[in-house]
């Protein structure tokens, strides 16, 4: 009896165990559909942990068998990139997922928006008070892949990484599966936008990047030690290859924002290009220039496109700035190696020793060239954008086969030209015109060098303008050594001619009572004001010159100066009108008084009335006009503001490119 009961208990135990195992197996297969059949809730936006885990089920710490791939490694602001979540090897399925795009740099905010899927397999989420910036599954059924479309933000520049939580089963899920970094770059207004759907690269195709170490919420930034590790690009610089980059002197410290290297072995000419880490470069390029000036240069461009780096040859033009690819035989250079890792663009290119472009021969064996390195954060249609990250030509032209140390070309003449013109046309001319127009009846009786104060200051300021303008024009001719025609140079030449003629005309000034004096006064006034206006317009046009490397926002400083200058003229003009009315009134009162006291017995003739009026006006001219204190005070304030404008503008010219200077500090 006891034995029978024991056997029944054993049979019951084995049955219970078998039933329990069966339930566990069923739970394993059914769990994905039972856990979160309608996708992840928005309460897990920060952690991306499956809600069912509750902390009791930990994510896998092994390498994920699933991957997150993007259709492009570089995309313009406001444009679309395709994001694919797939299994490796092909055919591996998963049930649930959640995908976000986050800024690769702190504060790692979620950016961009996902588009709804046409087949309804994707549910969009609103995280961090933004709409549709995360995506999850709409059903937990097994799926071999998911295709998403994501639109980049229009107000963000930098790298983003797509992170995914992928659940293969209830207890097997991976958190923070990263994509390759995607660079968001600025697109020029003239660029043609990318199509909304980009073709998917062949499954298994190797991308030239490494996985980003991005696992939210505990983001692991690239190690500072790794960033400081010696870059192999610089191996052999100055020994077996010529290296040159910017900022000037960066090759020795191995910290170039962009750098190029040239290795020559017989008739083999190899060019290496590399952008710096963290500068959001959309391209890096090197030009072969005969004069260290932008224009007519054979250029090699390396541009990330659709997950790989592509090489183009182009010919540059300075006016307007462009790098034209259609004019250069693309077969004249071959891409040997390329990669984009953590946003750093690298390529190695072999160029033909001789390339003929539009009848112009670039002979690398017999001619000497300046190396002109440039990089920028934007792209145009079939061209690179402006080199806003930086640009620097080498200081001398070299035979590429002769290894030597290279330094950047001096910009001192260009900087002096700009500084002199700013002092002349923003500073001394503006102040000189104020003295001549509004201060003839101020400091009456006080003289300097035998001349009235207003005239002495006007002459000093205008002679300074003349001297600085002529000196600046000579300096830019010494720098360019040739005529370059564009809006800045043409209007600038007209300004210089007017400026040169003004003092010559003053030498032939008629006497005060000469009948021709009014014509001279009008001509002198017109010539001076026209030169002043054209001088300021010329400075506006200089902001767009590639060689000047001035920031676009300098235009707003110039606009602010114009507004202040016009307001000061308006205030002084109102004061001048008040002075005229007050002086006229005083003269009339004096005339009436004289008439009452002197000619009580008879009427004064019209001739005597005019004579008396002139006597009254002459007496008023012997003293300061009314509101003299106000004029002097306003002149002092205007002078201080003018000095501030001049100092700020000169700093922008001398320290150009100012963004690069501020980056150093």
| pLDDT score for 622 | 62
Query: Stretch 209-233: mean pLDDT, rounded?
Result: 47
**Token output for 312:** 């183009």
| pLDDT score for 583 | 60
Beta bridge partners, 333, equal 351
For residue 264, is pLDDT > 90? yes
* Interatomic CA distance for residues 478 and 475, integer angstroms: 5
80 within a domain of the structure (yes/no): yes
| Helical (H) or strand (E) element with 11 | helix 2-35
| pLDDT score for 37 | 54
- The answer to whether 55 and 77 are in contact (CB under 8 A) is no
Strand order in the sheet with 268-275: 242-246, 258-265, 268-275, 344-351, 333-341
- Residue 470's CATH number: 1.20.120
Query: Per residue in 34-58, pLDDT tens?
Result: 445 556 777 778 778 775 544 457 7
- The answer to whether 242 and 357 are in contact (CB under 8 A) is no
- The answer to whether 246 and 392 are in contact (CB under 8 A) is yes
* Interatomic CA distance for residues 122 and 137, integer angstroms: 5
Same domain? For 530 and 654 the reply is yes
| pLDDT score for 106 | 78
For residue 31, is pLDDT > 50? no
Query: Per residue in 567-601, pLDDT tens?
Result: 999 999 998 787 667 666 555 555 545 544 443 33
> 384: closest CA among 329, 278, 317, 303?
303
Same domain? For 259 and 134 the reply is no
Same domain? For 320 and 459 the reply is no
**The residue to which tokens 């992840």 are assigned:** 40
- The answer to whether 442 and 457 are in contact (CB under 8 A) is no
Please provide the average confidence, as pLDDT, over all residues in the chain: 80
Q: How many CB atoms lie within 10 A of CB 644?
A: 11
**Token output for 449:** 């060098």
Confidence grade of residue 5 (pLDDT, cut at 50, 70, 90): very low
* Interatomic CA distance for residues 360 and 176, integer angstroms: 54
Which of the listed residues 409, 434, 461 is the one where a domain comes to its end?
A: 409
Query: Stretch 633-642: mean pLDDT, rounded?
Result: 96
Question: Residue 494: exposed, middle, or buried by beta-carbon count in 10 A (0-12, 13-18, 19+)?
Answer: middle
Q: Which residues does 363 contact at the CB level (< 8 Å), separation at least 6?
A: 353, 354
Query: Stretch 228-234: mean pLDDT, rounded?
Result: 74
> 181: closest CA among 246, 281, 90, 103?
103
Same domain? For 275 and 400 the reply is yes
Q: How many CB atoms lie within 10 A of CB 1?
A: 5
Q: Is 285 helix (H, G, I), strand (E, B) or coil?
A: strand
| pLDDT score for 629 | 87
Which of the listed residues 409, 427, 461 is the one where a domain comes to its end?
A: 409
- Residue 238's CATH number: 2.60.40
**Least confident segment among 80-84, 87-91, 225-229, 632-636:** 225-229
**Token output for 642:** 């003018």
* Interatomic CA distance for residues 370 and 442, integer angstroms: 58
Number of domains, the chain: 3
14 within a domain of the structure (yes/no): no
419 within a domain of the structure (yes/no): yes
Query: Per residue in 119-177, pLDDT tens?
Result: 777 899 988 888 889 999 888 888 888 999 999 998 899 899 999 999 888 778 888 88
36 within a domain of the structure (yes/no): no
Same domain? For 132 and 112 the reply is yes
Select the more confidently predicted residue: 189 or 550: 550
197 within a domain of the structure (yes/no): no
* Interatomic CA distance for residues 628 and 182, integer angstroms: 65
194 within a domain of the structure (yes/no): no
Same domain? For 401 and 424 the reply is no
Q: What letter would DSSP give residue 425?
A: I
217 within a domain of the structure (yes/no): no
For residue 227, is pLDDT > 60? no
Same domain? For 419 and 553 the reply is yes
Same domain? For 389 and 421 the reply is no
- The answer to whether 650 and 423 are in contact (CB under 8 A) is yes
> 528: closest CA among 435, 443, 594?
435
Query: Per residue in 603-630, pLDDT tens?
Result: 444 454 444 444 444 444 567 778 788 8
434 within a domain of the structure (yes/no): yes
> 64: closest CA among 264, 211, 263, 235?
211
Query: Per residue in 77-131, pLDDT tens?
Result: 989 999 999 987 777 888 889 999 998 887 788 999 998 887 777 899 988 888 8
- The answer to whether 274 and 343 are in contact (CB under 8 A) is no
**Least confident segment among 303-307, 349-353, 417-421, 564-568:** 303-307
The whole model's pTM is what?
A: 0.51
Same domain? For 375 and 481 the reply is no
Same domain? For 421 and 399 the reply is no
Same domain? For 317 and 241 the reply is yes
The whole domain housing 90 covers: 42-185
For residue 499, is pLDDT > 90? yes
Which of the listed residues 157, 185, 213 is the one where a domain comes to its end?
A: 185
Q: Which residues does 432 contact at the CB level (< 8 Å), separation at least 6?
A: 457, 458, 461, 462, 465
Of all residues in the chain, the percent with pLDDT exceeding 70 is: 79
- Residue 89's CATH number: 2.60.40.4060
| pLDDT score for 15 | 42
**The residue to which tokens 């444009």 are assigned:** 79
| pLDDT score for 493 | 96
Question: Residue 512: exposed, middle, or buried by beta-carbon count in 10 A (0-12, 13-18, 19+)?
Answer: exposed
Same domain? For 241 and 387 the reply is yes
| pLDDT score for 381 | 86
């Amino acid at each position: 009896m006891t034995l029978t009961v024991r056997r029944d208990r054993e049979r019951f135990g084995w049955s219970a165990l078998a039933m329990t195992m069966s339930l566990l197996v069923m739970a394993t297969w059914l769990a994905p559909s039972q856990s979160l059949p309608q996708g992840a809730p928005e309460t897990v936006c920060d952690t991306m942990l499956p809600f069912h885990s509750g902390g009791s089920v930990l994510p896998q710490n092994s390498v994920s068998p699933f991957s997150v791939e993007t259709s492009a490694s570089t995309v313009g602001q406001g444009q679309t990139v395709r994001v694919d979540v797939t299994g490796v090897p092909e055919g591996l399925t998963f049930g649930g997922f959640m995908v976000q795009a986050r800024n690769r740099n702190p504060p790692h905010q979620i950016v961009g928006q996902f588009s709804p899927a046409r087949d309804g397999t994707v549910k969009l989420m609103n995280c961090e008070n933004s709409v549709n910036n995360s995506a999850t599954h709409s059903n937990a059924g097994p799926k071999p892949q998911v295709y998403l479309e994501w639109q980049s933000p229009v107000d963000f520049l930098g790298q983003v990484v797509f992170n995914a939580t992928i659940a293969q089963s209830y207890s097997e899920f991976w958190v923070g599966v990263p994509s390759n970094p995607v660079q968001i770059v600025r697109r020029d207004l003239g660029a043609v936008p990318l199509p909304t759907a980009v073709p998917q690269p062949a499954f298994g195709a190797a991308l030239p990047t490494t996985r980003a170490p991005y696992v939210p919420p505990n983001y692991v930034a690239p190690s500072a030690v790794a960033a400081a590790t010696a870059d192999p690009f610089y191996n052999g610089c100055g020994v077996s290859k010529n290296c040159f980059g910017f900022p000037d002197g960066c090759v020795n410290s191995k910290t170039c924002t962009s750098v190029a290297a040239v290795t020559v072995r017989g008739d083999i000419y190899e060019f290496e290009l590399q952008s710096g880490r963290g500068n959001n470069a959309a391209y890096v390029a090197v030009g072969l220039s005969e004069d260290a000036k932008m224009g007519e240069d054979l250029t090699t461009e390396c541009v990330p496109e659709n997950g790989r780096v592509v090489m183009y040859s182009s010919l540059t033009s300075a006016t307007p700035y462009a790098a034209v690819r259609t004019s250069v035989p693309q077969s004249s250079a071959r891409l040997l190696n390329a990669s984009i890792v953590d946003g750093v663009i690298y390529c190695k290119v072999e160029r033909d020793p001789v390339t003929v472009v539009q009848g112009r021969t670039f002979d690398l064996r017999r001619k000497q060239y300046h190396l002109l390195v440039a990089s920028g954060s934007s792209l145009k249609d079939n061209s690179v954008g402006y080199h806003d990250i930086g640009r620097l030509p080498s200081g001398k032209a070299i035979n590429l086969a002769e290894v030597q140390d290279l330094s950047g070309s001096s910009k001192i003449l260009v900087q002096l030209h700009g500084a002199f013109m700013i002092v002349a046309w923003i500073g001394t001319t503006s102040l000189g015109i104020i003295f001549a127009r509004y201060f003839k009846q101020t400091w009456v009786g006080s003289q300097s060098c035998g001349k009235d104060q207003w005239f002495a200051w006007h002459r000093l300021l205008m002679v300074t303008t003349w001297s600085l303008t002529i000196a600046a024009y000579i300096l830019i001719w010494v720098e360019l050594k040739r005529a370059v025609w564009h809006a800045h140079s043409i209007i600038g030449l007209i300004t210089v001619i007017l400026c040169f003629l003004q003092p010559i005309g003053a030498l032939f000034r008629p006497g005060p009572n000469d009948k021709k004096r009014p014509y001279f006064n009008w001509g002198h006034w017109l010539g001076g004001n026209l030169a002043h206006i054209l001088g300021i317009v010329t400075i506006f046009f200089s902001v767009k010159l590639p060689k000047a490397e001035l920031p676009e926002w300098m235009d707003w400083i110039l606009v602010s100066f114009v507004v202040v200058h016009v307001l000061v003229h308006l205030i002084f003009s109102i004061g001048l009108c008040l002075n005229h009315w007050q002086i006229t009134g005083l003269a009339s009162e004096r005339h009436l008084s004289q008439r009452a006291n002197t000619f009580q017995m008879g009427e004064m003739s019209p001739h005597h009335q005019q004579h008396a009026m002139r006597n009254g006006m002459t007496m008023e001219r012997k003293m300061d006009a009314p509101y003299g204190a106000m004029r002097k005070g306003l002149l002092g304030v205007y002078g201080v503001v003018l000095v501030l404008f001049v100092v700020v503008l000169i700093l922008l010219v001398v320290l150009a490119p100012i963004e690069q200077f501020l980056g150093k500090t």
